[in-house]
Amino acid sequence: MLTYAGHMSTPTLLPLAETEVCRAPLTRQPLDAEQAVDLARLLKALADPARLRLLSIVAASEGQQACVCDLTEPVGLSQPTISHHLKVLMEAGFLSRSKRGTWAYYALVPGALDSVATVLVTA
């Protein structure tokens, strides 16, 4: 289930809780075409070493949130590159963003990783 935010050619995933993809393991029933596209986009968002590191840093931080100012040095990338990766993770529904003064804070969306894991687990 895709929704369009901003420019009409830029699809953005709905939050994970609203998608049909993450309800049952792949082994229970075949994915339809739309579900496969949605799941592929989620997995693509995770399939980058820098994004996995950023997600891990945020998840392991106190309160599962971190300031963007604390993310550039550990990953060793420029601030614009970090911002791009954080945007991808937000659009996929893994992170949320809040602004505090001049700083942006990113937080792990509760259950976001569990939802993807549920699809991949055979039960």
Contacts of 106 (CB under 8 A, 6+ apart): 54, 58, 65, 66, 68, 71, 86, 89, 90, 95, 96, 97
Angle CA 42–2–120, to nearest 5: 30
Encoded amino acid at 108, one letter = L
Rounded to whole angstroms, what are the CA distances from 115 to 8, 39, 104?
27, 11, 25
Q: How much is the pLDDT for 2?
A: 32
Q: How much is the pLDDT for 115?
A: 79
Q: Considering the entire predicted model, what is its pTM?
A: 0.76
- Mean pLDDT is lowest, of 9-18, 33-42, 91-100, for 9-18
Pair of tokens at residue 51: 């994004």
Q: Is the pLDDT of residue 36 over 70?
A: yes
Q: Is the pLDDT of residue 43 over 80?
A: yes
Contacts of 52 (CB under 8 A, 6+ apart): 46
Rounded to whole angstroms, what are the CA distances from 38 to 19, 23, 47, 63, 96?
8, 13, 14, 28, 19
Show me where the domains of the chain are located.
2-118
pLDDT digits (tens, 9 = 90+) for 48-87: 999 999 999 999 999 999 999 899 999 999 999 999 999 9
The larger pLDDT score, comparing residue 51 to residue 9, is at 51
Q: For domain 2-118, give its CATH number from 3.40.50.300, 3.40.50.970, 1.10.10.10, 3.40.50.2300.
A: 1.10.10.10
C-beta atoms surrounding 87 within 10 Å: 12
Q: Is the pLDDT of residue 14 over 70?
A: no
Decide: 44 and 16 in contact? Cβ < 8 Å. no
The larger pLDDT score, comparing residue 81 to residue 25, is at 81
